[in-house]
Amino acid sequence: MFRNILLLFFVFLFSSCISNERRLDNLFDDYWRYSLESNPMMATDQGVHEWNDRLADTSLDGLEENYQRNIEFQERLSRISKEDLSSLQQVNYDIFELQIQNAIRSYELNDQLLPLNGWWDYHATFADLANRVPLNNVEDYENYLSRLEAFREYNAGYIERMRRGIEIGFVRPRQSFDDYLPSIEAHITSDVTESRLYEPFEDFPDSVSEDDQSELTERAQSVLSETVIPEFERLLQFLEEEYIPAAADEIAITDLPGGEEYYKHLVQSYTTMEITPDEVHDIGLNEVERIRNEMMEIIEEEGYGDDFDTFVEFLRTDSQFYAETPDELLKETAYVLKTMDGHLPELFKTLPRLPYGIMAVPDYLAPRTATAYYSRGAADGTRAGYYAVNTYDLQSRPLYEVTALSLHEAVPGHHLQIALQQELEDQPKFRSVAGFTAFVEGWALYSERLGLEVGMYDDPYTNFGRLSYEMWRALRLVVDTGMHAKGWSREEAIDFMAENSALSLHNIRSEVNRYIFWPGQALAYKMGEIKIRELREQAEEEMGSEFDLREFHDVVLLKGSVPLSVLEDNVLNWMNN
């Protein structure tokens, strides 16, 4: 009798575990389905073409619905016993919980009322639509035209959100818009055939007949002239006449209503750490001091004694450190990355299948965007990842920074990590696009240093460039928190960065503007890199001769993008097995 009762107990326990696993899988599936349906462009990127003719609902009502759905997902998760799940599913549970909590909290703190952050804002992303969707047949072109038509409603939703921000005083600072409007004006053309969005109608695939080409072209000209270009004009007029006049005079997000709590949330959300702005600031000061000492060693070895300013002025002004043409800069970048490609097997057991390419940053973005950026490829392998190099103002793009920057943005940085994550097969779908900034950017910064281990910094100038880039990320910890939590002015931030790095003054000003426009995000890079390096050093020390760097990198990367606490658990479990 006792044996039967015990057997029934174990059967019940096993079925309960299976039930919890199934309920969690169902929750993940439902969330993924909703994510794709509510974000049709993400669905297209993921190779799901059910909504290829749509754009997302950007209205306040649409965001409220999304908020309520997230609360429902959170409630469903709370009814699942985490303790009864497998260790892998417990990790998925924790990541999903954090992701939902952050989304809910962001909405409650009015994050949705600040849709512009100066970094691939919605109008700039939309202008790149032709490079993000399939255009292989008539149906694809019709879907593309439907999305062009949907820009009216899409744009209206964002303007509605910003108007609500004006009503409650939750707005971006006026200084952020000094050079912003040209990124919109570039898409207002009197001749629709000059629009970037018209390019697909200048070169059709063979599958589209001449009659269809004629009809599609006529429709495109109509949609662009009657809908798309007027909407860019509408956005420009709104910013000029309503938003910028109402923009905040102060640069600190903490000066806005509810801004102090919002900034604390941003700090913790981007770093995935329970940490305060003051703690981040102090970590930054310590890192600045450490890196400064390493930079001074190079300066002394090069015969400049302790004269940091003179050495940096030499780097900023000597012609040997600057490309004369955009092609020269692109070729130097290609050479660096092709060299690193040959070293990747020394550092990694697992490499992605998806290739990457190099391109110049589009002209309309170049004057006000970063030195470089990475655009992920399509999950179905139909589009490569791309590393975009800013060839605008070549005197602000020193060649001694090319190695560190390229390793960060392409391989072994963003492309390698993101492409691997897209190709993982043993994870819930929602994790294939999960991007915890501290992990993603922390890995990319850590990747810059990997170049040291394979001899990529083979002269003092490129190594100083690497240190300058590391210093740049350490300075962010000080400057972002300084401006948003400690009352620093923009000029104080610029001066602090100029005194402690070899970055060009153009880049420094652009970066400080970025931190003003997009508070908290830039903190993630250094905080994530510090954690990865700490975990590696701990593993090397405790494992001794058994430590395998290629295995370590698999442990870090093959669970996808995770919060830093989960990364630490993953590494510790590997060390103890």
Tell me: do 385 and 295 sit in the same domain. Answer: yes
Q: Give the 3-state secondary structure of residue 248.
A: strand
Token duo for residue 137: 């047949």
- What is the reported pLDDT for 13? 47
Name 386's bridge partners: 357, 375
- What is the reported pLDDT for 550? 98
Tell me: do 73 and 220 sit in the same domain. Answer: no
Q: Give the 3-state secondary structure of residue 372.
A: strand
What 8-state DSSP symbol labels residue 362?
A: P
Low-confidence ranges of the chain (pLDDT < 50): 2, 6-15
Segments forming the whole domain that contains residue 478: 265-576
Q: Is 254 part of any domain? A: no
Q: Is 296 part of any domain? A: yes
Q: What is the DSSP string of 278-291?
A: HHHHHHHHHHHHHH
Among 80, 109, 138, the domain-final residue is 109
Q: Is 391 part of any domain? A: yes
Q: Give Cα 98 distance to the centre of its chain.
A: 18
Tell me: do 409 and 532 sit in the same domain. Answer: yes
Q: How far apart are CA 411 and CA 346, in angstroms?
A: 13
Closest to 272 in 3D by CA, of 71, 561, 481, 570: 561
Tell me: do 231 and 272 sit in the same domain. Answer: no
Q: Is 158 part of any domain? A: yes
Tell me: do 485 and 549 sit in the same domain. Answer: yes
Q: How far apart are CA 129 and CA 119, in angstroms?
A: 16
Tell me the pairing of strands 372-375 and 385-389. Answer: antiparallel
Question: In angstroms, how far is the first alpha carbon of the chain from the final one?
Answer: 40
Q: How many CA atoms lie within 13 A of 169 on its CB side?
A: 9
- The H helix count followed by the E strand count for the chain is 24, 3
Q: How far is CA 398 from CA 384, 391, 406, 470, 527, in A?
A: 27, 11, 13, 16, 26
Angle between helices 138-149 and 210-223 (to 10 degrees): 10
Among 50, 85, 109, the domain-final residue is 109
Tell me: do 49 and 172 sit in the same domain. Answer: no
Residue whose pair of structure tokens reads 């420009």 in the numeric block: 236
Tell me: do 34 and 166 sit in the same domain. Answer: no
Q: How many CA atoms lie within 13 A of 549 on its CB side?
A: 11
Tell me: do 105 and 120 sit in the same domain. Answer: no
Q: What is the DSSP string of 58-103?
A: -SHHHHHHHHHHHHHHHHHHHTS-GGGS-HHHHHHHHHHHHHHHHH
Among 109, 142, 173, the domain-final residue is 109
Tell me: do 323 and 444 sit in the same domain. Answer: yes
Within 320-477, strands assigned E span 356-360, 372-375, 385-389
Token duo for residue 283: 């970590």
Tell me: do 344 and 269 sit in the same domain. Answer: yes
Domain count, the chain: 3
Q: Is 451 part of any domain? A: yes
- What is the reported pLDDT for 11? 42
Tell me: do 188 and 45 sit in the same domain. Answer: no
Write the pLDDT tens digit of every residue in 131-177.
999 999 999 999 999 999 999 999 999 999 999 999 999 999 998 89
Write the pLDDT tens digit of every residue in 220-249.
999 999 999 999 999 999 999 999 999 999
CB 194 within 8 A of CB 135: no
Q: How far apart are CA 422 and CA 380, in angstroms?
A: 9
Q: Is 467 part of any domain? A: yes
CB 478 within 8 A of CB 512: no
Q: Is 6 part of any domain? A: no
Q: How far apart are CA 208 and CA 201, in angstroms?
A: 11
CB atoms within 10 A of CB 344: 14
- What is the reported pLDDT for 320? 96
Tell me: do 484 and 412 sit in the same domain. Answer: yes
CB 221 within 8 A of CB 192: yes
Q: Is 388 part of any domain? A: yes
